[in-house]
Structure 1
Amino acid sequence: MIIRKDVLIKAANFCAYQERTQAEVREKLQKLGVEGDEADEIIVYLIEENYLNEGRFAKIFAGSKFRVKHWGRQKILYELKARKLSEHSIREGLAEIDDEDYIETLNTLIEKKKRELRTEKQPAVLKQKVARYAMSKGFESDLIWTILNKSEK
């Protein structure tokens, strides 16, 4: 089968602009009217030429969502799964997050939220609100409660 050069160039440019997943490329190809074997061949070409690398995508995605948006591992994991990445790529992405930075970021988020809620008089209610906030950011509940209980002492 011969791959149409114009579609191949568009797909390569699509991947060169920013990191993409295979699912995103397949969706783009579908919009360009390319499906089936031809789409598969284009994706194989993009992988071989290193335009498309899901491990690289996962690393960049996880690292940036953690550093910029302060997302926890749970939320990042959910988003990577939603993008149909392999378990291997997901593990690669999550490995980008340093454990010390992770705990430090969670501590910072907790302290910031406590300052925002300083008018809350009941300590138990304050802890619940802070924990709920940290969980909504994707941090693990056991880690959140460990930090909250430590800071109480």
Structure 2
Amino acid sequence: MENKNAEALSIQQIQGKLEYYCAYQERCYKEVEEKLYSFKISAAEKEQILIYLIENNFINEERFAQSFVRGKHNYKFWGKNRIVNELKFRNISSRIITIALKEIPEATYLENFHQLAEKHWNNITERKGPKKNKKFVDFLLRKGYETSLIYEKLKELEVGS
């Protein structure tokens, strides 16, 4: 049923839908390109719409990356490794990733890391030992924090317990 609706839309209607899609939340080129696949239009028409969205600042990779970095760190408490990998997956250039990572002040990054690490350490039900250490390390690695930070914190917490 949706395919019939997709075919019936004009280029202007599709463009309008994508303007709203980009205005509602920051989007990268790859996400918008994937969204365009749901519409039955030619490659030339897709390209025309993408160029329009870029020229009119609906798609801005740098702005997307900065927003992504802030959001994922401040709300999901992701570390830099995970953020970088997710941005690379979205085909964001290394130059833009470097610029975007400056959105996290180092003091805030470390403060969030220490709070998250201590909270998780206290929530692990196992007592001291290798099983608790493994759960602690694995959790923070999944969150994308640097190995050196994790092991320093582990030593600090083991001594403190």
Instruction: Please indicate the TM-score interval, normalised by the length of the shorter structure.
Output: 0.7 to 0.9
Query: RMSD between aligned alpha carbons?
Result: 2.0
Gaps of 5+ in 1: none
Paired position in structure 1 for 2:15:
8
Output one character per residue of 1:78-108: Cα deviation in whole Å (capped at 9) or x when no partner: 1111122222222232221111111111111
Tell me the TM-score normalised to structure 2 length: 0.82
Paired position in structure 1 for 2:5:
none
Moved more, 72-81 or 89-98: 89-98
- Residues paired across the two proteins, number: 150
Letter in 2 for 1:56: R
CA–CA distance in structure 2, aligned partners of residues 87 and 41 of structure 1: 26
1:110 corresponds to 2:117:
yes
Tell me the TM-score normalised to structure 1 length: 0.86
Letter in 2 for 1:63: R
Percent identity for Structure 1 against Structure 2: 35
Paired position in structure 1 for 2:87:
80
Output one character per residue of 1:105-130: Cα deviation in whole Å (capped at 9) or x when no partner: 111112112211365133x5433332
CA–CA distance in structure 1, aligned partners of residues 39 and 125 of structure 2: 54
CA–CA distance in structure 2, aligned partners of residues 119 and 8 of structure 1: 54
Q: Among residues 51, 56, 60, which one is paired with 2:63 in the alignment?
A: 56
Q: Is the 8 A contact 1:15 1:52 kept in 2?
A: yes
1:92 corresponds to 2:92:
no
CA–CA distance in structure 2, aligned partners of residues 79 and 38 of structure 1: 29
1:137 corresponds to 2:143:
yes
Paired position in structure 1 for 2:33:
26
Letter in 2 for 1:148: L
Output one character per residue of 1:54-81: Cα deviation in whole Å (capped at 9) or x when no partner: 1111111111111111111111111111
Output one character per residue of 1:28-50: Cα deviation in whole Å (capped at 9) or x when no partner: 22211234222222112111111
Paired position in structure 1 for 2:132:
126
